[in-house]
Structure 1
Amino acid sequence: MNQEKIRELEKTINSDYGNIAGMIVQKNGIKVYENYFNGYTADNPTHVYSVTKSVISALMGIAMEKGYIESTEQRVLEFFPGYTVKRGEKTIQNIRIRDLLTMTVPYKFKSEPYTKYFTSESWVKAALDLLGGKGQVGEFRYTPVVGPDILSGILANVTGQPVLAFAMENLFSPLGIHVPNNVVFHSKEEQIAVMKDKNTRGWVADPQGINTAGWGLFLTPADMAKIGQLYLNNGIWESKQILSTGWIDESTKEHSRWGKLSYGYLWWIIEDDEPIYAALGQGGNVIYVNTKKNMVVSIASLVGLRAKDRIEFIKEYIEPLFENCVSA
């Protein structure tokens, strides 16, 4: 690898993508680049925000493969028999798992009611209470925080396990990913402090112990690269089928659309023909998979609402530099 080009890349990162904490590039399953910034090391996880959604997608696929869930066509309320639907509510009764996975469900809010969500005793119930309204099922509506937790509630109910325990047994441990415990906070100030602490490990859970589905997972770049490689390997890890090929195929093809952007099952579809797909989280957290070039890129980033486009960065700088690499 041309070290001068590497130095140019890192100069670009420091000048234009200054909130990157760490990055790994893999080509043909081989790590060809790894580096850390902003005082982070390989041992420091970051809060990966909505990358969590794509992990939940994988767990839903595993739950289906194990027979806990029959079909994505099942109605959401089947999994919450104790939930009481308010009089006159019809939309919520028709919402399927598939609709949650593709972000095509309506909600009773124009902007996400974070205070109501975070102060509720059950974030799953808070999301159920907000489902429906005047919107149409089938229309794309991206909800970063409120809503995806319903999938965590489904997982916990059907498996009889905490989501983290199910994930450790069926996904994290087989990949060598360490997510040791639930992360719980009791105030807004504590939440902000936790998110900025480079030593925080785990997965955020609500007061009922249900892990978040739309955000809240802390991973290292190596952890994210393993998830990307699992998908690139058609669900196989060390000769064992962890995730079904069918679920990966279904998850990474277009099911819904937001303007020019395509969406699968909680994965963003960057290009259909190659295909290229990505898990994307606020601030520039990314798991990027290019199946044609056999590349995986993972980028962990610090909090930054105005972070520059990581897909553009990968396409302009990373792929041209590393696509012909054969070894580290």
Structure 2
Amino acid sequence: MEQTTFHLPRSQPEEQGISSTAVIAFLNAIKERQLEVHSLMLLRHGRVTAEGWWAPYAPDIPHMLFSLSKSFTSTAIGFAAAEGKLSLDDEVISFFPEEAPEEAGTNLTSMRIRHLLMMGTGHALDTTDGMHQSADGNWVKAFLQVPVEHEPGTHFIYNSGATYMLAAILQKVTGQTLLDYLQPRLLEPLGIEGATWETCPRGIQIGGWGLSITTEDIAKFGQLYLQRGVWNSQRLLSEAWIDEATSKQIANGDGGASDWAQGYGYQFWRCRHGLYRGDGAFGQFCIVMPEHDAVLAMTSGTNDLQGVMDAVWDHLLPAMKQEPLPPDESAQAKLAAELKSLTLPIPQLQMDSRLEETVSGNVYSLEDNNEHWNKVVISFAGNQASFVISNLENEYTINLGRGEWVEGKTSFLQVEEKRIAASFTWLQEDTLELTMRLIETPFAFTSQIVFKEDALVWSRHSNVQPASNDIRGQVTGTV
């Protein structure tokens, strides 16, 4: 079956009962609260009413979804159950008898697929760290060795290892990876191209995180669930699955003002206002609003996920009316201009520095540091600079623009070579600032380099925490 790209239809907000002014207010709230959002796409009645990307992020660039990946893994299990390849009541250890402990306890033997789906495995802690630390890379065995303290189905603990087990079970019963299995069932029908998914050391796609797709792809996925499993007049998923997966299967708190305490389904979170969502770390969202016939897809790089959702509830949700609104050409033009001009702040030139000629091309040897970087070279040519850094194994070159983004590709600070946008400015005569945005991820890193005679002092921090590759404190280098 040949893949064909499918784009969602577009519409003015007022035609679908949404005020352009309300969307502008939402954008203003995001800006005022200093929430780093990378993209948004708002659908109403199946049509895109507002879409925007904060440069240097762009429509065609895939974005790392983190735990929003879990909702796609759940969907794969829904397909497999419908095809009779597995049952939600199958025992987890039945798929991996060779990996199970010799004396499996009652709680482990009674753990079912549905308990993995609802994050009700019975574990007291997330199993992911233990899986990562397994010396032989056998994550399945590591998961099954973790004590199960509670009766499955009675205790919620957010557990990415449980989602990995769903991926491992799917690969065991189908002989295919998650993406290969989803290709004809979900990706091709929705026109999702170029999806990638990280794998464990043994080649199983991780399930709980690691999927990368575009913002419009996220929106299509949400629209499929909003349409209760029907796409282009064809049923892909059963209504029964949609209802079960997105309804509260287990309690995860006492409700209240938190959108992380409203109940959990099958790898979907319940929200306030009767809505549900898939979401991932640092603000990757697919919010489905059945009563409003709306979907909101967003990617971000923020630690304040509740702040993003509060802005949605404060500004977008109340703006959705049952009937179309009168055209408002002035507000529509203003909204279109704002969406087109969205950008994350580019570090602007604060001053020129006479040090450019002095330090350009110098090779600085770095003191011991936790990342094992050993040399750095910074060179300037007109309005561009290059930052070359090396360790014992690799050398990386990042090109940066003066007061503008320069895009390229690198595997610096990333597992694989992916896109980066970088810029530089002088904060003071002796202080250079470098901004590097890994634009297929939520991460951005800002370095400050202070030059002192024949030495430099380098510090770096991330836009979001935790970030395992932050340089803690400062590193000194000498010519």
Q: Give the AA of the match of 1:173.
A: E
CA RMSD of aligned residues (A): 2.3
Residue 112 of structure 2 corresponds to: 96
Q: Which of 220, 223, 227 lines up with 1:233 in the alignment?
A: 227
1:129 aligns with 2:127: no
Q: Give the SS at the match of 2:40.
A: strand
Residue 58 of structure 1 corresponds to: 75
Is contact 1:288–1:296 with CA below 8 Å preserved after alignment?
yes
Residue 15 of structure 1 corresponds to: 32
Shift of 1:99: 0.8
Extract structure 1 runs of 4+ deviating beyond 6 A. Answer: none
Residue 161 of structure 2 corresponds to: 146
Q: Which of 294, 318, 321 lines up with 2:319 in the alignment?
A: 321
Shift of 1:322: 4.5
What is the TM-score when the length of structure 2 is the normalising length? 0.59
Assess, with a 3 A threshold, how the Cα gap between structure 1 residues 13 and 159 changes in structure 2: closer, same or farther: same
Assess, with a 3 A threshold, how the Cα gap between structure 1 residues 323 and 22 changes in structure 2: closer, same or farther: farther
* Structure 2: distance between partners of 1:227 and 1:280: 13
Assess, with a 3 A threshold, how the Cα gap between structure 1 residues 142 and 219 changes in structure 2: closer, same or farther: farther
Q: Give the AA of the match of 1:13.
A: I
Is contact 1:284–1:309 with CA below 8 Å preserved after alignment?
no
Shift of 1:177: 1.0
Q: Give the SS at the match of 1:140.
A: coil
Shift of 1:314: 1.5
Is contact 1:54–1:267 with CA below 8 Å preserved after alignment?
yes
Assess, with a 3 A threshold, how the Cα gap between structure 1 residues 144 and 37 changes in structure 2: closer, same or farther: farther
Which structure has the larger Rg over C-alpha atoms? 2
* Structure 2: distance between partners of 1:305 and 1:80: 37
1:158 aligns with 2:173: yes
* Structure 2: distance between partners of 1:309 and 1:17: 10
* Structure 1: distance between partners of 2:34 and 2:213: 19
Shift of 1:140: 3.0
Q: Which of 209, 213, 222 lines up with 1:219 in the alignment?
A: 213
Shift of 1:288: 0.8
Residue 243 of structure 2 corresponds to: 249
Residue 87 of structure 1 corresponds to: 103
Assess, with a 3 A threshold, how the Cα gap between structure 1 residues 18 and 67 changes in structure 2: closer, same or farther: same
Residue 350 of structure 2 corresponds to: none
Shift of 1:79: 1.6
Greater helix proportion: 1
* Structure 2: distance between partners of 1:91 and 1:243: 31
Assess, with a 3 A threshold, how the Cα gap between structure 1 residues 119 and 285 changes in structure 2: closer, same or farther: same
CA deviation vs aligned residue, 1:181-224 (integer Å, no higher than 9, x gap)? xxxxxxxxxxxxxxxxxxxxx11111211111211111221111
Is contact 2:134–2:142 with CA below 8 Å preserved after alignment?
no
CA deviation vs aligned residue, 1:115-138 (integer Å, no higher than 9, x gap)? 7515551333322222x4322322
* Structure 1: distance between partners of 2:212 and 2:317: 26
Q: Give the AA of the match of 1:39.
A: P
Length, aligned pairs only: 301
Q: Using the TM superposition, name which of 310-319 and 138-147 deviates more.
A: 138-147
| Unmatched 5+ stretches in structure 1 | 181-201
Larger RCO (alpha carbons 8 Å, 6+ apart): 1
- Percentage of pairs with the same residue: 27
Shift of 1:111: 5.9
Q: Give the AA of the match of 2:66.
A: Y
Assess, with a 3 A threshold, how the Cα gap between structure 1 residues 323 and 142 changes in structure 2: closer, same or farther: farther
Question: What pairs with 1:191-210 in structure 2 (closer than 5 Å)?
Answer: 202-210=196-204
| Unmatched 5+ stretches in structure 2 | 1-13, 256-261, 326-331, 333-479
Assess, with a 3 A threshold, how the Cα gap between structure 1 residues 143 and 9 changes in structure 2: closer, same or farther: closer
Shift of 1:243: 1.1
Q: Give the AA of the match of 1:83.
A: E
Q: Give the SS at the match of 2:173.
A: helix
1:75 aligns with 2:91: yes
Shift of 1:320: 2.6
Is contact 1:102–1:140 with CA below 8 Å preserved after alignment?
no
* Structure 1: distance between partners of 2:125 and 2:114: 22
Residue 265 of structure 2 corresponds to: 264
Residue 453 of structure 2 corresponds to: none
Is contact 2:67–2:279 with CA below 8 Å preserved after alignment?
yes
CA deviation vs aligned residue, 1:222-267 (integer Å, no higher than 9, x gap)? 1111011001111011111111111001111111011122111111
CA deviation vs aligned residue, 1:12-35 (integer Å, no higher than 9, x gap)? 222325321100111000110101
Is contact 2:68–2:285 with CA below 8 Å preserved after alignment?
yes
Shift of 1:169: 2.1
Q: Using the TM superposition, name which of 203-212 and 37-46 deviates more.
A: 37-46
